[in-house]
Chain A
Amino acid sequence: MALLLKDGAVAEDAWVVVGDDDAAAVPEGAVIVSLDRWRRDRAALSARNTALGIRLKSSQLAAEIAADLDRFTLVVLDFPVFRDGRPFSTARELREHHGFTGEIRASGHVLPDQYQFLVRTGFNTVVVGEGANLASWRHALSEISVAYQAALSAEQPLSNLRRRLDPSGS
């Protein structure tokens, strides 16, 4: 079972990921669909009266969902491999340019060493594997306390280049 991390701690995950298979019925409650599925079943998904999340591959950038953002309360950005840094930009575009205020979740292959970067580019939550060392994830939020550039997340400017990071990451 994958775990959901929020502010360094395990959080409850009420969302259900729905596949792209047409035949499968969409379950009740909050669901996450792919961009393909959203485009295909847009009318049906819109008619549901529950929260909707969308999942983007790293090659699917913020502009792809910009026009529909008000339909989603969650955007999941997938890292096929931790070295693929595109979702960091996608998250920032969603927050800063498109004004998205819902949850942005990282999934796929991410490392604790990237946790602070995720928080600072606008992610709220991370899906980690079952075997993840939660202590490493928790520690990652506070191991560097100084940032040298403006970004997102709650941080206190020391100057307009330097800032002190909030270890809670919230």
Chain B
Amino acid sequence: MAEIPAQGPGDHELIRAAQAGSEAAFEALVRRHENRALRVARNLVSNPEDARDLAQEAFIRVFKSLERFDFRHEFTTWLYRIVTNLAIDTLRKRRPQVSTAAPEDEEGEWELAVDGELPSEGLEREETVSQVRACIDRLAPHFRTVMVLRELEGLPCTEIARIVGATHVTVRWRLHRGRKLFQDEWSRMQGAGAKPRQHPEARSVRPSETTSRPEEG
């Protein structure tokens, strides 16, 4: 599935044609943006099959709501919103099962083998991936969503705010807090012995901490 560059009619033109009943226009829209949807979904829900189902469902929802599309916005903003909302729903349903331990049943899911890599290096790399993944799994869905949209898609906080339906300040707060939570978890997993000397004034983020939290928007 190769990425289709945005050539030919723009997204808004395709949406108008699809609204008028053109299946071909909607197909073009799906093919143009499917990699984007799939990439975000895969990084939010981890499991490739779940991600594929999620991206597929997102496009079906797009089709259902096509008549209500607001042409003042980009199509991608809308698509991201649908994908992330579906992902958050999936993550919330799954959350009680999350553990910091590497899931045994997902062994082999990651393509870890690298040409020329020693077996011991492969194991070490696998261990690192498992640790990172466990840290990400411990992040609440709304932190994870903001971090993925920022770090993976490179979207500015203002755009993320439109996607997640929050204020710019809230998005920055989630990004700040998500990174801090991830770092604390990551440091903890690296082991206390290997942990470098901490700044005397540094604090870890705790759930009870009264960080200046903006009104959730």
Q: Is the A/B pair a real complex?
A: no
Residues of A within 8 A of B (CB): none
Residues of B within 8 A of A (CB): none
